[in-house]
Structure 1
């Protein structure tokens, strides 16, 4: 019976760990719990998490429209996404500490209210400077809303109900980034880009109502407000902000050939090492690193890193290909991406039941294997690929991502003590987001360098002495002459060069898909080192596996 009610509010690190077996926690004995209210409160938190994750990618298909609307340059507009991720990454590891101090309910409601206000302000932005500030605030609030849901799922629900809760969480984490471009593209064409942010108001108010009324799962501990590790907070903020900036901007600035990127990399490494030392020695660490003592958590974290690369990387590469190679509109990109979202939504209930019956290592091998095979289809991409050619890739990726995400998350906490669950949740979400940032940075680098490499290869193989090249140039020159060009030969050469660049970029996209696919098979190898555990055999009070 003690499994039914687990207190997610652990005391300060210096205090003795809570004893859920002796006290049933804030919800009371399982037979006295009103599960309807519990699911309503938890459901409100899930909606909030969906909003927070969705807002990372909802702008992806509409950056051109936003750029025109606020008069931003092509270099500035990328900060609409970048600043949100920067702020989110900083806030995620702090969530466990703050929710322990204030209580999950109060902390979550405050975060949602802040998110709503920031969303309205972002939608009303008239300059890039204003949007950067409001998006940063929105990202801080969103980062607070994401890990709290997973921690609640693992501490409030008993094992037999935890399956459904975790399927819902897994569905949100995988589905929201995938449907983001779809929803954003159609919303921009129908109502305008400002509604990408105004859309958060109505569901946000619903979240505030549900969470404030039904999500009284734990109480805050005021002792956490005493002795806050401000030094650790500053070190962590500098390390994460520097790292995220390097990952976001490194590819475009030539990585370490740029002085700013080089010195920020050094700064991130030094402050990161100092932060780790501080958290290991300070009496009340602001981010507990204790979960890494658990072997399954460490391996699960590594696999969440890879799943973040695959999830965000796949969501980044496909819309980019459709826009740059096929010239799709935001709505067309969204419609094509809908296949992954539908697959995840339909597969979620079955995935949860299947994973519960098997060794979690098998679930991870199956999930990452499907994603790897699916993304591997893109290695053979051509400039003519569209909706029908990407269907199989998206189905396999969507199904595999759902299975892998649930299994990896469960593996991370399968042998974790309840007292560390909030800390583990924040770390898992942080690692997944960092994995996504690393994946995007590497993909951008691959596209840039491999396009240049393929172009050189194509240009050297198609010489002026080539009969095929001569015939193509003759045809292009003839077309330009018929089109009334003043310099048909010059226009023909430009068109020929454009064709080579387009083909080189298409081949570079194939390399990017190969990189993402290879990462999934690396994750499969890591899964084999985990301790054997089934989801319904997890030990809520800690246990083996260390």
Structure 2
């Protein structure tokens, strides 16, 4: 029996090398290249629209006659819907095929963009933005899955770099492009700009991309309870993270209710997806240790990427007093060095152990974040340049090995589902990072303001000297109540310094997070370049 088994296995062993060689030497047609880059442009639009309204919320608020608190729902609606659909995208791609799903998603995203542009009031805008996020989120994981199912191994690192640049550059470009379009045209242009490219992407995908075939039988056994649990869990969690800071967390009955709902739905989701025969999201992918650890690294990368994209504009606008165009000029440094690192990361991935490359990227990102925490209000362009340059260069050093570690060793049939989970972890990392950063910012700023205020008293010689100088300036400017005006200026100076100390502390905390991430490296299994 053993001999028979051995004999039976011999033909299989002999056929494996030719099959591997055939896959490695597979060449893509021009149509497949067009289809893939159309997908890349599609996710660029989807990710860009997460942040494109960030710099134009005041104009949208005025256009829709909304309050400052109400207008934030425009952002929240998009993010909640996007987070909900991302883990479901793997099952949807299996059922409808990548081609059908992407065309439907991009077409829906384009149509909802038109809806946002013609929205007549705030509720209409929130509904259109929610559907825009739903369709946009379904596109994002598909591209990561296609890299590992369409391309031979020798091209996968290069394509991962291309997609990685889109994923990391698009959120940076969003506020800058949004501010420019709003100033040059109108806030409606933020959405109308999607119409022509969105239509072109739909046509290109429909005509040129055929990666897989739909499995219509999956529609006969839809796990509706699983979908309900996932929607309730992720939707409630994202809502709590988005609104918690404004509502002072658990002092709000609404936040408490949604937190309990998220906890109950999360437990129910785990039980359902691990016990049902046909789960809508197959959590068993986490049995692969590299995938599980890769998702944790993706989570940490999401914390760094999205939190810094929030903190940097706050620093430059509040402390430096820069406008959106000037902020864009500062933030462009990160994107520029990402582009430069793409030409280094790809060849380097073939020469060194991916674990070593990842450790170097995490260390470099941590150092760049720590350096940002040593700035003052007088810091100029070049003081911001080098920390951003280090982080921009580090992003590809992190993104490429994390992507390969998480998805590169999974069986092809698991990649679609796993890609949704992998992307979800990055988005959750960003959401949790922003929520924690916002909470810490409020608490730290109060603490630093109290500390600084103790030094600015009537008994302080330095404070009295500064008050005299400012009062003389106010008198020279012709102000009647010069003493009150001078005291107000001192208050603003103390507030500014408290904000500088707060933001510096948050940059240092981010640096520590990435340094601590290095402690997970021993759990990462080596992945061969040809795997």
8 Å Cα contact 1:347-1:399 kept in structure 2: yes
Q: Do structure 1's residue 111 and structure 2's residue 105 form an aligned pair?
A: yes
* 1:177 shift after superposition: 1.3
1:231 matched to which residue of 2?
225
Match of 2:201 among 196, 204, 207: 207
8 Å Cα contact 2:154-2:530 kept in structure 1: no
8 Å Cα contact 2:24-2:153 kept in structure 1: no
8 Å Cα contact 1:322-1:386 kept in structure 2: no
Q: In structure 2, how many angstroms separate the alpha carbons of the residues matched to 1:284 and 1:408?
A: 28
1:470 matched to which residue of 2?
464
Per-residue CA deviation, residues 202-259 of structure 1 (Å, 9 max, x unaligned), is 2212211211111111100011101211111111111111111111121222222322
* 1:79 shift after superposition: 2.1
1:324 matched to which residue of 2?
318
1:506 matched to which residue of 2?
500
Q: In structure 2, how many angstroms separate the alpha carbons of the residues matched to 1:346 and 1:471?
A: 50
1:403 matched to which residue of 2?
397
Farther off after superposition, 230-239 or 117-126: 117-126
Farther off after superposition, 122-131 or 297-306: 122-131
Q: In structure 2, how many angstroms separate the alpha carbons of the residues matched to 1:385 and 1:64?
A: 28
2:11 matched to which residue of 1?
none
8 Å Cα contact 1:58-1:183 kept in structure 2: yes
8 Å Cα contact 1:189-1:331 kept in structure 2: no
1:12 matched to which residue of 2?
none
Farther off after superposition, 333-342 or 305-314: 333-342
8 Å Cα contact 2:157-2:400 kept in structure 1: no
Q: In structure 1, how many angstroms separate the alpha carbons of the residues matched to 2:26 and 2:449?
A: 68
8 Å Cα contact 2:311-2:503 kept in structure 1: yes
8 Å Cα contact 1:52-1:143 kept in structure 2: yes
* 1:329 shift after superposition: 1.4
* 1:186 shift after superposition: 2.3
Q: In structure 1, how many angstroms separate the alpha carbons of the residues matched to 2:174 and 2:223?
A: 36
Q: In structure 2, how many angstroms separate the alpha carbons of the residues matched to 1:107 and 1:42?
A: 14
Q: In structure 1, how many angstroms separate the alpha carbons of the residues matched to 2:298 and 2:26?
A: 36
Per-residue CA deviation, residues 358-383 of structure 1 (Å, 9 max, x unaligned), is 21211111111111111111111212
Farther off after superposition, 185-194 or 210-219: 185-194
Secondary structure, in 3 states, of the residue corresponding to 2:345? helix
Q: In structure 1, how many angstroms separate the alpha carbons of the residues matched to 2:18 and 2:265?
A: 41
8 Å Cα contact 1:371-1:401 kept in structure 2: yes
Q: In structure 2, how many angstroms separate the alpha carbons of the residues matched to 1:325 and 1:310?
A: 21
1:177 matched to which residue of 2?
171
2:530 matched to which residue of 1?
537
Q: In structure 2, how many angstroms separate the alpha carbons of the residues matched to 1:202 and 1:278?
A: 42
Q: In structure 2, how many angstroms separate the alpha carbons of the residues matched to 1:270 and 1:101?
A: 28
Q: Do structure 1's residue 56 and structure 2's residue 46 form an aligned pair?
A: no
Q: In structure 1, how many angstroms separate the alpha carbons of the residues matched to 2:25 and 2:396?
A: 32
Match of 2:214 among 177, 199, 220: 220
- Hey, which of these two has a bigger chunk of helix by percent? 2
Runs of 4+ in 1 over 4 A off after TM superposition: 20-24, 28-34
Closer, same or farther: CA 23–268 of 1 in aligned 2, 3 Å: farther
Q: Do structure 1's residue 131 and structure 2's residue 125 form an aligned pair?
A: yes
1:7 matched to which residue of 2?
none
Per-residue CA deviation, residues 177-214 of structure 1 (Å, 9 max, x unaligned), is 12222222222222222212111122212211211111
Q: In structure 1, how many angstroms separate the alpha carbons of the residues matched to 2:61 and 2:379?
A: 28
Q: In structure 2, how many angstroms separate the alpha carbons of the residues matched to 1:328 and 1:488?
A: 28
Q: In structure 1, how many angstroms separate the alpha carbons of the residues matched to 2:387 and 2:339?
A: 16
* 1:71 shift after superposition: 2.4
Match of 1:88 among 75, 79, 82: 82
* 1:55 shift after superposition: 1.0
List runs of 5+ in structure 2 lacking aligned partners.
1-14
Match of 2:238 among 239, 244, 247: 244
Farther off after superposition, 492-501 or 424-433: 492-501
Closer, same or farther: CA 126–310 of 1 in aligned 2, 3 Å: same
2:372 matched to which residue of 1?
378
Q: In structure 2, how many angstroms separate the alpha carbons of the residues matched to 1:311 and 1:94?
A: 24
* 1:350 shift after superposition: 2.2
* 1:399 shift after superposition: 0.9
* 1:482 shift after superposition: 3.1
Q: In structure 2, how many angstroms separate the alpha carbons of the residues matched to 1:528 and 1:54?
A: 35
Q: In structure 2, how many angstroms separate the alpha carbons of the residues matched to 1:474 and 1:226?
A: 80
2:180 matched to which residue of 1?
186
Farther off after superposition, 51-60 or 182-191: 182-191
* 1:30 shift after superposition: 7.8
RMSD (Å), alpha carbons = 2.0
8 Å Cα contact 1:56-1:84 kept in structure 2: yes
Per-residue CA deviation, residues 93-112 of structure 1 (Å, 9 max, x unaligned), is 11111111111101100100
2:328 matched to which residue of 1?
334
Question: What TM-score, normalized to structure 2?
Answer: 0.93
Farther off after superposition, 166-175 or 57-66: 57-66
* 1:486 shift after superposition: 3.8
Match of 1:520 among 491, 514, 517: 514
Question: What TM-score, normalized to structure 1?
Answer: 0.91
Per-residue CA deviation, residues 109-163 of structure 1 (Å, 9 max, x unaligned), is 0100101111111122343222211111110011011000000111111111212
Q: In structure 2, how many angstroms separate the alpha carbons of the residues matched to 1:164 and 1:452?
A: 47
Q: In structure 1, how many angstroms separate the alpha carbons of the residues matched to 2:29 and 2:340?
A: 25
Closer, same or farther: CA 31–537 of 1 in aligned 2, 3 Å: closer
2:425 matched to which residue of 1?
431
Q: Do structure 1's residue 491 and structure 2's residue 490 form an aligned pair?
A: no
Secondary structure, in 3 states, of the residue corresponding to 1:76? helix
